[in-house]
Structure 1
Amino acid sequence: MTITLERSGRVPLGDRTVNRLGFGGMKLAGHRVTGPPADRGAAVAVLRRAVELGVEHIETSDHYGPHVVNQLIREALHPYPEGLVIVTKVGARRTTDGGWAEALSPEELRRAVQDNLRELDLDVLDVVSLRMPGLGEPAERSLAEPFEALAELRQEGLIRHLGVSHVTPLQVAEARSVAPVACVQNHYNLIHRVDDPLIDALAREGIAYTALEGMSYTSFFPNGVMTPRQSAALEAVARPLGASPAQVAMAWLLARSANLLVIPGAASVAQLEQNVAAAALELDPLDLAELERIGGTSGPDPDRGSPARR
């Protein structure tokens, strides 16, 4: 199978440029992002194949597992290929019952950075994103204190670049008043378009935007979120292209804005290759117009529960 990421385009991420279709690591952990995967060898194979296919941007966090996904990345890819950017996320800690707790104090953030350095076997982290707490839409609250703590760690040479995740436009502006922001990670997809103005504003500033739940590293979108009408319209676009609805959803994101990154996850090489193949899909103006017509914001299917906290 010939698969290429060339047509996805490239975007600055910190001091490097990367292919816009990357890889989200959360799906490599066990059930509910806890413990090891059922097949460790398969997880290692996915990571190695991703790099072979041209993936240059991997999203992870030491609270995936915890520790599991970072350990898999190290096992599969260390010493890391030149040009590979690893983006890790801090701001939460795992509880003994597998839950997620806020971890935003300077001491907790320093510990999280040190944990990521140790588990990834790095001297400096490429990009560290501050993930603000909560499920659903982000809440307006100051992020100045935790972001200042990360900026201090950057000054110490432990971090090259900073990002923010699960944030509002006001919080992005607040973060940028503290230190440069290399990327923003938020919930965004074909039918969840709240961040349209933010994406456009960041594009004008040359700042990358990562679409979580885009089709991201979980399977929450498009399955179980779209209305029957929306699903039918997406399938109608996908069918003549010989593509899956998920591939079309990813291709739409790549067409949406030149600063937009997509990080689908995969637990198998076959799924990874299907995701990467989305970068080669061509959506013509009629396809794009049809997809725009089904856009909007749709709530989750109550039978599926909430997506995993990241």
Structure 2
Amino acid sequence: MREGGQELGGTFPLGPRRVHRTGYGAMQLAGDGIFGPPRDRDEALRVLRSAVDAGVDHIDTAQFYGAGTVNELIREALYPYPDGLAIVSKVAARHGADGSLLRFDEPHQLRQGIEENLATLGVSSLAAVNLRMTDRSAAPDSRFDAQLAALVTAREEGLIEGVGLSNVSRRQLLRAVAQTEIVCVQNLFNLADQRSMDVLMECAQRNIAFVPFCPLGWPGEVRHRILGNPAVVAPAARLGAAPAQIALCWLLDLAPNILLIPGTRTRAHLAENLAATGTGLDDAARAELRRHFPTPSI
């Protein structure tokens, strides 16, 4: 157990707010393929309520999760929202009628996406909205600048409190911070995929929240590479923790600006994820994890 028993891993700034370092990612509440309604609607509502009851004050969502279904669940479960709850969304994508994920990232479409989030969630403002890049290497700078400007305008008009980025390179992050304040960056990052280490370190230097998505890896083979790896399983057994708790604790231990948003469809897994903040890595566990999951040179 960490000294002081910091609730949900302590806190870190998210724009003008300060939130617990362990939040909740709502993506898994959608149906398979992030499309359509959840497998168990009643359990989805209970998961959301249990998260807030446990002290979660940061929920990550998107209008395109379940084609609006997930935002509707959040509203049904939690409205009127408790004071201090930061709801963060993302724009630049939407689902086609067949469930395929399509780009929706022209500046006027980004504005539409923000307004759809607000309407479905029943709020007048969001804590932050992330500009989700489809391909971090393909977008011309002028296009990126125009997309960013659309979010800045929304912030100036009070529709969002902060501008965030998702799936960006360090170069794009630096281009963005040269134009406006960035409150969070959400990139793929976990033990098995540390390619965004340079982005994480840049965020840490600038006191920007870094929010890793898929913190336990993508479902399937990649997730097994983490949760089934002896370097994770052995410390978990020795410390009386689940492998997922070790993987999440590694992230909390890595940098103080990391905000976790592990997602789940069940209350049992929710409780396990939130309990990761009470799992302290010892030096032996850290050394074992470094050997099996070496940090890339920057």
Could you tell me the TM-score, scaled by structure 2's length?
0.92
Check if 1:118 corresponds to 2:116. no
Distance 2:247 2:163 in 1: 28
Conserved? CA contact 2:26–2:61, under 8 Å: yes
CA deviation profile, 1:250-298 (whole Å, cap 9, x unmatched): 0100000000011111111111001111110011111111111111489
1:53 has 2:54 as partner = yes
Separation in 1 of the partners of 2:16 and 2:89?
16
SS of residue paired to 2:164: strand
CA shift for structure 1 position 20 = 0.6
From 249, 252, 256, the equivalent of 2:250 is 252
- Where does 1:61-80 land on structure 2 (aligned, <5 Å)? 61-80=62-81
- Kept in 1, the 8 Å contact 2:245–2:276? The answer is yes
> 1: distance between equivalents of 2:219 and 2:19?
24
- The 2-side partners of 1:119 and 1:202 are apart by 31
TM (normalized to structure 1)? Answer: 0.88
Shift of 1:198: 2.5
Partner of 2:100: 99
| Structure with the higher fraction of residues in strand conformation | 1
Change in CA separation of 1:220 and 1:174 when aligned onto 2, cut-off 3 Å: farther
2:193 partner letter: H
Q: Does 2:214 match 1:223? A: no
Note the 1:2-13 alignment, pairs <5 A. Answer: 6=7, 8-13=9-14
Given candidates 222, 235, 238, the residue that maps to 1:237 is: 235
Q: Note if contact 2:22-2:260 (Cα within 8 Å) is conserved in structure 1.
A: yes
Aligned partner letter, 1:145: A
Deviation at 1:61, TM superposition (A): 0.2
User: Structure 1, unaligned stretches of length 5 or more?
Assistant: 299-310
SS in 2 for 1:160: coil
* 1:90-146 deviation line (CA, Å, top 9, x unaligned): 011111110111111122111101100000000111100000014xxx325332111
Length, aligned pairs only: 289
2:243 is equivalent to residue 272 of structure 1 = no
- The 1-side partners of 2:6 and 2:110 are apart by 34
Q: Spell out the pairing of 1:189-200 with structure 2 (5 A cutoff).
A: 189-200=190-201
Q: Following the alignment from structure 1 to structure 2, what is the Cα–Cα distance between the partners of residues 22 and 191?
A: 21
**Per the alignment, do residues 214 and 130 of structure 1 end up closer, same or farther by CA in structure 2, a change over 3 Å counting?**
same
**2:293 alignment partner, one of 273, 292, 295:** 295
> Residue by residue, what CA displacement relative to the aligned partner does 1:55-89 show, whole Å, maximum 9, x if unpaired?
11100000001101100100111111111101101
Q: Which moved more, 1:93-102 or 1:161-170?
A: 93-102
What amino acid sits opposite 1:68 in the alignment?
Answer: T
- Secondary structure in 1 aligned to 2:67? coil
RMSD: 1.9
Q: 1:128 to 1:29 in 2, by over 3 A?
A: same
| CA deviation after TM superposition for structure 1 residue 173, in Å | 1.0
Q: Distance in 2 between matches of 1:261 and 1:227?
A: 20
Q: Percent identity?
A: 40
* Corresponding letter in the other structure for 1:85: A
Q: Structure 2: how far apart are the matches of 1:221 and 1:281?
A: 25
Indicate if the aligned counterparts of 1:213 and 1:221 stay in contact, CA closer than 8 A: no
Distance 1:202 1:221, change over 3 A: farther
Distance 2:6 2:41 in 1: 26
The aligned amino acid for 2:174 is A
Bigger proportion of residues as helix:
2
